[in-house]
Structure 1
Amino acid sequence: MEELYRQLNTKFGLGNSKYLTEIWQILCTDEEAETANVLPGTADDISAKTGTDINDTNRTLLSLFKKGVAFKSTTNGKTKYKLAKNIVQFHDASLLWEGATQEYYDLWKKVMDEDFTGFMKSLPDTVKLPSFMRVIPVHESIEPQTTVLTYEQCAKIIEESDSVAVVKCPCRLSQRNCNAPLEACIQVNRGAEYTLDRGHGRKITKQEALEILKRSEEAGLVHMVENRSRGNVICNCCSCCCEMFRLMKSSGKKWILAPSRFLASISEECTSCGACVEVCPVNAIAMNGIASVKADDCMGCGLCATVCPVSAVTLGPVRPEGHIPV
């Protein structure tokens, strides 16, 4: 089985990870691990590859789906299963497995803090992959006269969705570095359907989702979405637990997170209270008499604008609408 685990680990770029091997041993039976290793395919495909009865194959695939190992899609009446597309998706999905224990959470913490961070640090500076996630600004921090694309506003994403669900934040489940709200990851449309199909989240109304957004903003969390034009997830992230924030800081790879279209600026009305410095998740504000923004580091989340007692902080567009990927 050791070679099988190494092969599975290699699919996620971590062939020699002992912690990921331990995760497989806890998460999957031998049969499930063998099935995962021959994905993708339909149940018939997998049955043929493994020589397993079709009924047993279907049960195994359903279990892998519930555990966050396999993802399914149906086209022309045929359901195909595939592995999580990367270690981040595997992390997020499998941490919501109903059988997860504290030991399991701790193993994922080690995988991300040690193995995946080490892998990212090893990448040459010339390597720049597509950003995993993109920051979107706190809605109330945008000046009313500013034209903002629909997708830049979490509220619009929710209002235009067909279905909404919420799950616990997998990063905070594993890292446990703060007391920020745990039930804070919002899923919409296909994401919501996936969550409810697995039985690992709960269906909520659009009003409940908006209330979660508001509580998240009040807790100093940053809204993030998938870095593409039509995503299915709104994460509400703290800088101490969020794997993307932690990875960006520890590896020095700024491309891991794409900033919003906006940049904070601070006027001379600043009273040097330091509230913006304290709330900034990426240390992009320095206090030099009055607060000043380090433009190269600012992610455009807008938290600084929401805490300024004298409204000295504003957010303005500095990137074109095309900054949002298609």
Structure 2
Amino acid sequence: LLDGDRKRRLPLFPKTVGVVTSASGAALHDIVRVARGRAAVRLVVADCRVQGEGSAASIVRALEAVQRLPELDVVILSRGGGAAEDLGSFNDEAVARAIAACRVPVVSGVGHEVDTTIADLVADLRAATPSNAAELVVPEERALRERIEGDRRRMVRAMTTEFGRARLRIERLERLVRDPRRGLWAIRERLSFLRASLARAGGRLGTERRRSLDRLARRLITHDVRTRLGEDRGALGRLRTRLREAGPPMVATRQRRHGQLVARLDALSPLKVLARGYAIAIHGPTGRALLRADEASPGDALTLRLHEGDLRARVEP
């Protein structure tokens, strides 16, 4: 259960986050508060007892229940701080095995940073507090935008570099094809150099060396430039074909990845949640978003924030 190799990485863009904790505890309030200030995700609470008799079995049942959601991406197992005996259910073997058997990554945020339980050691990632667990699971919208922009810049640089290299190679081959005389000029210059060397050597060269030099000169003169020209033309044609075949798929792949990231970011936008018919109730006296009905008193003014515009309301007795 404690093997580090079995631990899984958290999803980069979770859409649905299961929260296994007490629905009446402070830990849930902290998780909701942190998640609301970051990217829009769906929080599904699996209520359970987190201390006392029967709490370990309650946690196991909640973990099993939340996994029935087919769209579940990650689970936060959490509770607030307390005495060592209050955290006993998170040291239970059944809870540890339920965490290890979970089909999605589990992040533990139990107690405070100084508290360590067996659940923390078995979980895929340990958070210091419930708030920290929400920070680790729910990405910041600004960070998502920066990642998309970074991917876009890297894509542009890679494409520019690749096409630049291909263009330079094509230009070099085209110069050789347009002017095959350059290869012949190089041969003639080499021959002139060898003849000059022979003249300077004079009588120091023997008959055999003169014959070797003559054979080399004849080989250079009879070199078939057309063969080399044909090879260069073939290489140029193959390079052009590869560039035509590889260019569009590479661009399409990069554009498709960029589009997927943009679509994922758009799906995480809080406006998408409001567009599905939900509303945020803002408490007039405090300016805070309401999580529970008992946070407002009769007569309090409310602002209902909709997808398009706001509505004013008042709590009736």
TM-score range, shorter chain: under 0.3
Bigger Rg, which one: 2
Q: Which protein has the bigger strand share?
A: 1
Q: Which structure: greater helix fraction?
A: 2
- TM normalised by structure 1 equals 0.19
